[in-house]
Amino acid sequence: MDKPMQLDAIDRKIIHELQRNARISITDLARRVGLSKTPVAARIKVLEDGGLIAGYRAMLSPIKLGLSHVTYVEVRLSDTREAALSRFNTAVRAVPEIEECYMIAGGFDYLLKVRTRNIAEYRRVMGDQISALPHVHATSSYVAMEAVVESAAVNL
């Protein structure tokens, strides 16, 4: 699961279309990329089996779900040895409100993106879940006021 795959122009067109609409039929897709259905179906299978296409997902509107509160949380750990980092990573993955988590260069900090229904729920998640993550030493919260670009497609 780590090396880039070799893609030609047609593969790129295919993933571009599938990123725009995961439910497009092979018939439609073949027409758009200028090939017949047979090779298009075969290429999709290669892309899926190779892990480049990791799945197909419905995009849900957070606002329509009432999940409009986004906060970024900077986390500093008290222990940054490998075992501690590993424990932290595992625990983070078990908190569903954490939509993203990256380890940041420079002092072994983490940046979390947390999505909740409102501030009250955010406080609860912060107090109950995030503060309780292993080895957390300090946190700083940055509240989002407006989503200018949200979960954009990957730039091909």
Positions that interact with DNA (CB under 7 A): 10, 25-28, 34-39, 41-43
Binding-site partner at residue 22 among a second copy, DNA, none, CB < 5 to 8 Å by type:
a second copy
- What is the spatial distance between Cα 92 and Cα 77, in angstroms, rounded to a whole number? 13
Beta bridge pairs of residue 74: 111, 140
List, in order, residues 6 or more apart from 34 with CB less than 8 Å away: 10
* Closest CB 18 distance from a second copy, rounded Å: 4
Q: From residue 83 to residue 122, what is the string marking binding to a second copy with x (rule CB under 8 A)? A: ------x--xx--xxxxxxxxxxx---xx---x-------
* Closest CB 152 distance from DNA, rounded Å: 26
Closer to DNA by Cβ: residue 41 or 132: 41
Positions in 6-45 near a second copy (CB under 8 A): 15, 18-23
Q: 43, 11 in Cβ contact below 8 A? A: yes
29 HSE (CA, 13 A, CB side): 25
The DSSP symbol for 134 reads T
Collapse the DSSP code of 30 into the 3-class scheme (helix H, G, I; strand E, B; otherwise coil) and give the result: helix
Paired tokens of 112: 């979390």
Contact footprint for a second copy (CB under 8 A)? 1-5, 15, 18-23, 50-67, 70, 72, 89, 92-93, 96-106, 110-111, 115, 142-156
